[in-house]
A and B are shown apart, each in its own frame.
Chain A
Amino acid sequence: MSEPAPAAASETPVESALPEGWELIVGLEVHVELDTATKLFCGCVNRFGAEPNTNVCPTCLGLPGSLPVMNERAVEMAMILGRALGCRVNRSVMARKNYFYPDMPKDFQTTQYDQPTNSDGLLELADGFVVGIERAHIEEDTGKSVHVGGGGRINEAVYSLVDYNRAGVPLIEIVSRPDIRTIEHARNYVEELRAIVVATGVSDARMEEGSIRVDANVSVRLRGSSELRTRCEIKNINSLRSLGRAIEHEALRQIDLWTTGSGPQQQTRHWDEDAGRTTPGRSKEDAEDYRYFQEPDLVPLDPTPATITAIDEAMPPLPAARRAALRAATGAGVDAARLLVERGQDGLAMAAVAAGADGAKTVTRLVNDLAVDDWSKVEAESFAALVRMESSGELSASQAKQVLGDLVEAGGDPAAHAAARGFEVMDTTELESLLDQLIDDNPGEWSRYCGGDEGERKKMQGFFTGQIMKATRGQADGKVVAELLAKRSSS
């Protein structure tokens, strides 16, 4: 069931946080809450942050006699995500996973077992590394417990409160194959998955609101071996930072156990962010037997080929394709392309380049100066004009940055904003005399510029540029200043 995807087996990266000779094996299980209007099996509103137990009904409370009715939009979203991950969409059935917990109204979770909606997909990371997707199945979320007193643990608590607003919220669980070999790739995988989820519009994927949740299956082995050793599942990972820390800690813990004894026990472990370590949960011996069987209250999901074709045709451009297109059009690097696609500014960049703007400058300006939430007033045409003005020397870098700020605020024509700010191309002779004055006033700095090593020279260049910018209220072009400095020191 979990042989690695062929593409992933090609170039195996090494995790440097591990001792020499050890290899990290990670598979991730990611839960994504779907952004449907209503819950998976009833008409209750699906919304985060409502007053506890206000979005509930007999069905999502699991009251005796209630029955589930499948939310068709949730099924559609599941298939969209599945296709975006390159999965096969199957005839699928819902199943009951039987276990007891007070925040689970029916004391079974309605999920999918041996016949999931999506299976056998791939996820390509920004650097081209490919992770196999085993399955992406539909299931319902549970309620939320708050245990008061006793350290927040259910059995020691003085009392517990349960909010069932989340009970029955539709989830997709995406299970990767154990293809991931580095912490960086584990993070990239979650980032990429998140980007796809957002691009397809199936979820807002906010980790801090729990609408995307990650469990990590971690094991280690000696490099060069192909075995899969005992793994531990790490739960309670609440951020990308925690993900990296948890995997590293768990891998080192396991290596220690393999080195000093017979290795770890298969178990579920809990990541403790404050203590920076994992603590044991259930072990395999007392693991629950979920007694899965087909959900008799629901009928199989059997999409027609036409439905799947329609989903494929309506599929928006996905992050990997958008990054590739952006890089081809602008020459952007891996990180810049990832960032701009994540921000949704790839379209703006492509349009600017198409309108004659320089690719590299376009990317730089966007990466550095458009890290804002609302840039809806920046039109591609005017942004392109701005980049052209910067390229031609009409505006200095810092002036261009200020004009871009104006565009964010008010939109419109960059030339008009530049004029309104009084930005004009500075006469070089004016700059030269300013520089002469500065050199006279700061002989020490000047000799350090002329006689210092590379670092010193850079530092002093910064000093002089800063002074000139101060004197010209930022109207000078830093590049021109650098050129003048170089010219003066060599003359």
Chain B
Amino acid sequence: MEIAAAVSAGERSALEVVDEHLDLIAQRDPELHAFNLVTAESARAEAAAIDARVSAGEAVGPLAGVPLAVKDNMCTKGVPTTCSSKILEGWRPPYDATVVERLRQAGAVSVGKTNLDEFAMGSSTEHSAFGPTRNPHDPSRVPGGSSGGSAASVAAGFTPLGIGSDTGGSIRQPAAFCGVVGMKPTYGAVSRYGLIAFASSLDQIGPIAADVSGAAALFDVIAGHDPLDSTSIGDFAPTASAVLDEGVEGLRIGVVKELSGGPGGVPGLAVDVLARAAEAVEVLAAAGALVDEVSVPSSTLGLSAYYLVAPAEASSNLARYDGVRYGLRVDGPTSPEMTTATRTAGFGPEVKRRIMLGTYALSAGYYDAFYGKALKVRTMMLNDFARVYENFDVLVSPTTPTTAFELGTRTQDPLTMYVNDVCTIPSNLTGHPAISVPFGVGDDGMPVGVQVLAPALHDAQTFRVAAVLEAAS
């Protein structure tokens, strides 16, 4: 990264870089509300320490002095971590998430914790206990979600880099809405240790950046094995930055019919978004890729399966917020009444809705019809994609059905909100990597994102294709 190179070479002061970005945040974040918390003091101290090391001739990391926005569902030692929920009021983690630790080692300077839909449950960052984040391209519109704060921070120029988490599209969808690059790695490529769980089998931390090379640099730092996460891949060596210039000549690229407005596919994809996606495919073909249409029938079932698996796991993951040990406690005459009062006051409506959905899906007598069936769909999708990847290296689709919508227009009807994730969810259910890269704008002038999907462990491939699209847009 440019900033890191300049800081490492002693050409720029990390402190100056951080101060410039803090100034920007101070000017415009009151309007956008990308951040739940700006940690200006510790950011300046870290930047000064990097400058001191550069002066002393010591080596600094590959992201030295680069301002970073961390989604507020990742643990930061001694710094409030809220998940944008009242239930974690006052809680300061006694430890750092592995990703936070790795980024610090790499020299990145965290300037604060970014807003999200409460516990990452949402697609607009409107479901935050601390108020919504607004889209820097048009503050009357949402930034997407749930990593809306990190995406908005990058889009507004507050930070060149942002960290998000993606359970059903929570990195890619806000990246598309905000006109930035967002990538969900292969499940297990990045440690989840310290990421506050929403749906453990789907959650994955990933990079958000203004450009593909920034996202690749960030990915290369955060990916890799972590013994603290049992689902972490044993010998994953990230190589995204190394393949950005390789082009797509000879690459076999499939256009997923069901996610591209084809008959029998997912409904509700906007014409302007589909047009940009089609243009992106033409760009790739012109660059020498072998492009063909391909059918992945089960991809249409993703949304229903997701809204059983994710709430089911969430209902278990969020059980610990009971008022006994940390966070909010609303007193009651007995222990169960205390817990009920705490949860009633502490959780927002969307979180409550998903806990109830998930509890129901796992209940005795309903498991087979709901959760069990969703697991079968997951297996089916894995088989479907495995078959497709015998003939294709990557797949493309739009990232989202539409461009960013106006605040307040979808919060009343959960189903219209859930449909936002229809193109991104399959990669979470299969555990495969996928990236969203900006490609032109819609009829409303708002950014459009194109998604590139790859099979497990081929994360670098998504960056490689995204780099070609970025160059052409």
Interfacial residues, chain A to chain B (CB-CB below 8 A): 58, 61-70, 96, 98, 100, 102, 105-108, 154-155, 160, 162, 289, 291-293, 296-299
Contact B193 A65 (CB under 8 A): yes
Q: Evaluate whether A65 and B322 lie within 8 angstroms (CB atoms) in the complex, with A96-B316, A155-B334, A298-B230 already known.
A: no
Besides the known contacts A62-B325, A106-B319, 17 further A-B residue pairs in the complex with CB atoms under 8 A apart: A58-B94, A63-B93, A63-B94, A64-B81, A64-B83, A65-B95, A66-B194, A69-B230, A100-B339, A105-B320, A162-B324, A289-B364, A291-B316, A291-B362, A291-B363, A293-B312, A293-B316
Contact A107 B335 (CB under 8 A): no
Contact B229 A67 (CB under 8 A): yes
Q: Evaluate whether A66 and B200 lie within 8 angstroms (CB atoms) in the complex, with A100-B319, A155-B335, A293-B371 already known.
A: no
* B228: interface (CB < 8 Å): yes
Chain B residues whose C-beta falls within 8 Å of the C-beta of A108 in the assembled complex: 316, 319
* B231: interface (CB < 8 Å): yes
* In-complex Cβ contact of B193 among A67, A70, A107, A155 (8 A): A67
- A164–chain B nearest beta-carbon distance, Å: 9
* B197: interface (CB < 8 Å): yes
Contact B316 A62 (CB under 8 A): no
Q: Which 4 A-B pairs have the closest CB atoms?
A: A107-B319, A291-B362, A296-B201, A296-B200
Chain A residues whose C-beta falls within 8 Å of the C-beta of B324 in the assembled complex: 102, 162
- Residue in B91, B334, B371 with the greatest tally of chain A CB atoms within 10 Å: B334
Compute how far the CA of A61 lies from the CA of B364 in the bound complex, rounded to whole angstroms. 28
A62 to B, closest residue via Cβ? B320
Q: Evaluate whether A98 and B320 lie within 8 angstroms (CB atoms) in the complex, with A61-B325, A64-B81, A291-B363 already known.
A: no
- Residue in B93, B313, B320, B362 with the greatest tally of chain A CB atoms within 10 Å: B320
Contact B193 A66 (CB under 8 A): yes
20 CB < 8 A contacts A-B: A58-B94, A63-B94, A64-B320, A65-B97, A66-B193, A66-B194, A68-B230, A98-B319, A102-B335, A105-B320, A106-B319, A107-B319, A107-B320, A107-B322, A108-B319, A162-B324, A291-B316, A296-B200, A297-B197, A299-B230
Q: Write out, one digit per residue, whether chain B residues 227-246 have a CB within 8 A of any chain A CB (1) or not (0).
A: 11111000000000000000
Q: Which of B320-372 contact A (CB under 8 A)?
A: 320, 322, 324-326, 334-336, 339, 359, 362-364, 367, 371
Compute how far the CA of A66 lies from the CA of B230 in the bound complex, rounded to whole angstroms. 11
- Residue in A58, A64, A160 with the greatest tally of chain B CB atoms within 10 Å: A64
Compute how far the CA of A98 lies from the CA of B363 in the bound complex, rounded to whole angstroms. 11
Contact A65 B231 (CB under 8 A): no
- B326–chain A nearest beta-carbon distance, Å: 7
Compute how far the CA of A354 lies from the CA of B230 in the bound complex, rounded to whole angstroms. 53
- B328–chain A nearest beta-carbon distance, Å: 13
Contact A63 B193 (CB under 8 A): no
* B377: interface (CB < 8 Å): no
* B175: interface (CB < 8 Å): no
Compute how far the CA of A68 lies from the CA of B93 in the bound complex, rounded to whole angstroms. 17
* In-complex Cβ contact of B335 among A61, A67, A160 (8 A): A160
- B179–chain A nearest beta-carbon distance, Å: 30
* In-complex Cβ contact of B93 among A65, A70, A162 (8 A): A65
* B196: interface (CB < 8 Å): yes
Compute how far the CA of A160 lies from the CA of B315 in the bound complex, rounded to whole angstroms. 26
Chain A residues whose C-beta falls within 8 Å of the C-beta of B367 in the assembled complex: 291, 293
Contact A297 B200 (CB under 8 A): yes
* In-complex Cβ contact of B322 among A66, A68, A102, A289 (8 A): A102
Q: Evaluate whether A67 and B334 lie within 8 angstroms (CB atoms) in the complex, with A98-B362, A291-B359, A296-B200 already known.
A: no
* B163: interface (CB < 8 Å): no
B312 to A, closest residue via Cβ? A293
Compute how far the CA of A58 lies from the CA of B95 in the bound complex, rounded to whole angstroms. 8
Chain A residues whose C-beta falls within 8 Å of the C-beta of B319 in the assembled complex: 98, 100, 106-108
Contact B325 A105 (CB under 8 A): yes
* B103: interface (CB < 8 Å): no
Compute how far the CA of A291 lies from the CA of B366 in the bound complex, rounded to whole angstroms. 10
Chain A residues whose C-beta falls within 8 Å of the C-beta of B339 in the assembled complex: 100
A42 to B, closest residue via Cβ? B228
Interfacial residues, chain B to chain A (CB-CB below 8 A): 74-75, 81, 83, 88, 91, 93-95, 97, 192-197, 199-201, 227-231, 312-313, 315-316, 319-320, 322, 324-326, 334-336, 339, 359, 362-364, 367, 371
Contact B192 A67 (CB under 8 A): yes
Compute how far the CA of A299 lies from the CA of B312 in the bound complex, rounded to whole angstroms. 18
- A291–chain B nearest beta-carbon distance, Å: 4
Chain A residues whose C-beta falls within 8 Å of the C-beta of B313 in the assembled complex: 293, 296
Compute how far the CA of A108 lies from the CA of B362 in the bound complex, rounded to whole angstroms. 14
Compute how far the CA of A297 lies from the CA of B95 in the bound complex, rounded to whole angstroms. 19
* In-complex Cβ contact of B75 among A64, A102, A298 (8 A): A64
Compute how far the CA of A62 lies from the CA of B327 in the bound complex, rounded to whole angstroms. 13
- B347–chain A nearest beta-carbon distance, Å: 14
Compute how far the CA of A155 lies from the CA of B192 in the bound complex, rounded to whole angstroms. 37
- A447–chain B nearest beta-carbon distance, Å: 77
Contact B230 A67 (CB under 8 A): yes
Chain A residues whose C-beta falls within 8 Å of the C-beta of B312 in the assembled complex: 293
A69 to B, closest residue via Cβ? B230
Compute how far the CA of A470 lies from the CA of B200 in the bound complex, rounded to whole angstroms. 79
* In-complex Cβ contact of A65 among B74, B201, B315, B325 (8 A): B74
- Residue in A62, A65, A96, A292 with the greatest tally of chain B CB atoms within 10 Å: A65
- B410–chain A nearest beta-carbon distance, Å: 28
B188 to A, closest residue via Cβ? A299
Chain B residues whose C-beta falls within 8 Å of the C-beta of A65 in the assembled complex: 74-75, 81, 93, 95, 97, 193-197
Compute how far the CA of A62 lies from the CA of B192 in the bound complex, rounded to whole angstroms. 15
A58 to B, closest residue via Cβ? B95
- A217–chain B nearest beta-carbon distance, Å: 20
A59 to B, closest residue via Cβ? B228
Chain B residues whose C-beta falls within 8 Å of the C-beta of A297 in the assembled complex: 197, 200, 230-231
Chain B residues whose C-beta falls within 8 Å of the C-beta of A69 in the assembled complex: 227-230
Compute how far the CA of A69 lies from the CA of B229 in the bound complex, rounded to whole angstroms. 7
Chain B residues whose C-beta falls within 8 Å of the C-beta of A293 in the assembled complex: 312-313, 316, 362, 367, 371
B94 to A, closest residue via Cβ? A58
- B160–chain A nearest beta-carbon distance, Å: 25
- B200–chain A nearest beta-carbon distance, Å: 4
Compute how far the CA of A154 lies from the CA of B315 in the bound complex, rounded to whole angstroms. 24
Chain A residues whose C-beta falls within 8 Å of the C-beta of B97 in the assembled complex: 65
- B198–chain A nearest beta-carbon distance, Å: 11
Compute how far the CA of A69 lies from the CA of B231 in the bound complex, rounded to whole angstroms. 9
A99 to B, closest residue via Cβ? B319
A155 to B, closest residue via Cβ? B334
Chain B residues whose C-beta falls within 8 Å of the C-beta of A299 in the assembled complex: 230-231
Compute how far the CA of A162 lies from the CA of B301 in the bound complex, rounded to whole angstroms. 45
Compute how far the CA of A61 lies from the CA of B325 in the bound complex, rounded to whole angstroms. 9
Contact A289 B363 (CB under 8 A): yes
Contact A154 B231 (CB under 8 A): no
Contact A67 B364 (CB under 8 A): no
- B429–chain A nearest beta-carbon distance, Å: 13
